[in-house]
Structure 1
Amino acid sequence: MGSRFEETVMFKKGHLGEFLVDCKILQAGKFIPYAPVGGRAHPFDRLCASKNKKNLMVVEVKTISTRAKVPYGYPDTGISIKHYEDYLHVQEKYNIPVFLVFVDSHLKEIYGNKLDELKKETSVIHRGKTLSYPRIESNFTAVGGKIIYFPLINMTHIYKLTEEEAGDLERFSNYGYEKDLEHKKGYDEWAKKKETLSSHYSF
């Protein structure tokens, strides 16, 4: 019997994102992706080995969209600080590069970069203000209570999603995602803040 997490919108959307990335890795013909089995928590999504057996790479897939369309309007995307720290540990302990891949249904694109590139200090001028990255912000939905954001300008293009692929991802709506969060402590406060911000912005 599947766990409660496997029934959530978050899990289903993430599973679809991983499937799309697997297809692109295989089509490129340079690496073979190996996935965890058993449906349990795992340290990362894929271990990829080059066909000549000389190179290994960890690939972590995040099926989330840029913040450009939310009230904050920032040109970035990110992951929980706890996961970021875990990936840094894996990379440093085993000397295997970690590549973060983002499957973005809003931009209809798959993009990403190596962790070493994403964590470089970067300044971005946005709406007349200078934003410094990596950017860490509190967020009750994140593991560890914070999210670390990376600017889109540090991402490399991987694949342009078709309308059908983007549509499949969009079927797992924001409403459904928010329903997944209703049981978490702090949800009511977060929902009220989100509603207030939405009334002040029109993006």
Structure 2
Amino acid sequence: MSETLTIVKHPLVQHKLTLMREKDTSTASFRRLLREISLLLAYEITRDLPLSERRIETPLCEMDAPVIEGKKLALISILRAGNGLLDGILELVPAARVGFVGLYRDEETLQPVQYYNKLPTQMNSRLAIVVDPMLATGNSSAAAVDLVKQAGATDIRFLCLLAAPEGVQRMAEAHPDVPVVTAALDERLNEKGYIVPGLGDAGDRMFGTK
């Protein structure tokens, strides 16, 4: 499999993912679990952020203490399902800048169609983390990363809950410089482009729509 792929096998991540996969899990529980698991995945994808030192004063003395270097992170949500991951990451990194890319998948061609694009400024000097729960065909994800690159970003990572081999391969071919972090690599896509065994449509399950 792709050298750019990282699967987070932490027991808490895997346990929560199993609960999310179950078809009888309620909308409220699914939403809560997605927020919790996104927090855990965010730890992994931000593991190697660059640090610098700042002189601070504790109640006892002065010291040189580590702080994250550079401009605030940019979190880019692929609408609408990406917002479920976004909420959890913002709990961990509340000062992050947030952008949105609106893409829907043409049900016949499975190709992405753009309807919205609003990104933070100065993307060339920010780490951009693009989030979408499902990396299925990879077409929408690759198109979203295209837009982020067009905005000037050069340091980009992709965070998803589930990935299919087809999506991982598509991303690796289109954007070999973009690491992918996920909780699981599933078996395949079905004829409708859904991940199997997967968990169904993440957006529908998150928002209670059909």
Q: TM-score, normalised by structure 1?
A: 0.34
Where relative contact order (Cα < 8 A, 6+ residues apart) is larger, the structure is 2
Q: TM-score, normalised by structure 2?
A: 0.33
